[in-house]
């Protein structure tokens, strides 16, 4: 299992538009990815309802995890997206 701990860079946290951007990127990763608050249970990162249910706020730490082939690269891309609070999907996702 590969994990990345990252601080949410979107000031509003993983809510509405940022969650949508993140979920699309997680689905595009092509492997199962989970996300959890540092002290919480992991949820499917490709599920909008699950990600919104986390209630992750800006500045909070989340844990991204995956275990399939390609997990390292996928988590690096997702961690960068979350940390930088990008407003759209980068072309490389």
Pick the catalytic residue from 15, 24, 57, 80. Answer: 15
Residue written as tokens 């990815």? 33
* 4 touches 35 (CB < 8 A): no
Q: Answer yes or no: 16 catalytic.
A: no
Q: How far is CA 68 from the centre of its chain?
A: 16
Q: Any idea which residues carry the catalytic annotation?
A: 15
């Amino acid at each position: 299992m590969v994990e990345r701990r990252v601080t949410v860079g979107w000031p509003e946290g993983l809510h509405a538009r940022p969650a949508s951007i993140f979920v699309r990127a997680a689905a595009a990763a092509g492997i199962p990815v989970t996300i959890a608050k540092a002290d919480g249970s992991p949820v499917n990162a490709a599920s909008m309802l699950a990600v919104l249910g986390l209630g992750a706020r800006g500045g909070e730490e989340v844990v991204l995890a995956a275990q399939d082939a390609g997990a390292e690269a996928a988590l690096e891309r997702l961690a960068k997206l979350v940390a930088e609070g990008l407003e759209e999907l980068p072309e490389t996702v």
